Amino acid sequence: KAGVTQTPRYLIKTRGQQVTLSCSPISGHRSVSWYQQTPGQGLQFLFEYFSETQRNKGNFPGRFSGRQFSNSRSEMNVSTLELGDSALYLCASSLGQGVSYEQYFGPGTRLTVT
């Protein structure tokens, strides 16, 4: 099976802009979770989608949003970008709902905000 894919792999944006990241889960996986990884804060859970519905949400501002499509593909949107949003954004898919299941991570999208 193909692994989790994320596009784009690298992105440079300016403060105030918005960005949309895409994630395609492993075939058959219905849950997609998003994480932010930074040197200072480490790996932080953003949210989880299952069957097109957000099931869990981490402690991030409303500028961070996401959605999931009927084919389980997911997008994450960050509006009004701030310098502190520079990070590696990872998505992970799993077979079942909830983060209790083994998470298969994609290669990530490295976002740089200038």
Partner 1 sequence: GQQVMQIPQYQHVQEGEDFTTYCNSSTTLSNIQWYKQRPGGHPVFLIQLVKSGEVKKQKRLTFQFGEAKKNSSLHITATQTTDVGTYFCAGVNNDMRFGAGTRLTVKP
Per CB under 8 A, residues contacting partner 1 are 33, 35, 42-45, 48, 56-59, 90, 92, 99-100, 102-108
Nearest residue (CB) to partner 1, 75 versus 88: 88
Nearest residue (CB) to partner 1, 70 versus 92: 92
Question: From residue 57, how far is each of 51, 60, 62, 83 by CA, in Å?
Answer: 15, 8, 11, 22
**What gap in Å lies between CA 89 and CA 44, rounded to an integer?**
10
Q: Smallest distance, Å, CB 15 to partner 1?
A: 27
Q: Smallest distance, Å, CB 60 to partner 1?
A: 12
Cβ atoms of 48 and 56 within 8 Å: the answer is yes
